[in-house]
Amino acid sequence: MKYYIIFGPPGAGKGTQAIPMSEKYNLLHISTGDLLRSEIAAGTPLGKIAKELIEKGNFVPDQVVEDMLFAAFDAAKGVDGFLLDGFPRTIAQAEALEKRLDEAGERVTAVLSLHIPDALIYERIKHRAMLENRADDADDAIIANRIRTYHQKTEPLIQFYRRRGIYYEISGEGSVTDVSARIDALIMSL
């Protein structure tokens, strides 16, 4: 099995790029954001907690996200691997993923990091808020908190995966097609 992580700040294009990538390489795209939004829409106890945290721009506790992700691994059939979008976001989550994969005799294949500057993050998130009617993407203070949280809690994963020799940075600027071509070229080179 292949285990790809699509990585980058909010608004970098992870979800946009995950769709063609998962289809082309027969990967199950697992978006933790989509999983959480489903829980919120269903009004589950987890959804209520997640909604409150997300609306403030904060992360949902690691164990909750890990349980949802690992359940999706167990339920998957007929795929050549997984494309993780929005996970891991912290070193603790990365270590939990590594442990889970080690137990199965597997490992992360590659971390594909979409890099964009902070100013473009703001622009894209605001645009997404209009297109998808996402209240958590419409408020400047929440966006600023999400960017700050990304830099403080998620960026340390860059060194974590660089040390393992599986971190690859890709420019997330330009058209969807341009970024897709860069991702495909990288995957073909692995």
Torsion angle of C-alpha atoms 58, 32, 116, 129, degrees rounded to 10: -70
Check the CA dihedral 35-37-43-46 and report its sign: positive
Q: What is the pTM of this model?
A: 0.84
> Tens digits of per-residue pLDDT, 11-38?
899 989 999 999 999 999 999 888 888 8
Which residues are registered as beta bridge partners of 46?
none
Whether pLDDT at 116 is above 90: yes
- Predicted pLDDT of residue 136: 66
Q: Is 107 one of the annotated active-site residues of the chain?
A: no
3-class secondary-structure state, position 2? strand
- pLDDT classification of 44: cutoffs 50, 70, 90: confident
Which has the higher per-residue pLDDT, 32 or 177?
177
Residue 92 host element (H or E): helix 91-103
- pLDDT classification of 166: cutoffs 50, 70, 90: very high
Across 46-71, average pLDDT: 82
Q: Is 162 one of the annotated active-site residues of the chain?
A: no
Which of these is catalytic: 51, 89, 124, 182? Answer: 89
Query: Could you tell me the domains of the chain?
Result: 2-184 (3.40.50.300)
Q: Is 89 one of the annotated active-site residues of the chain?
A: yes
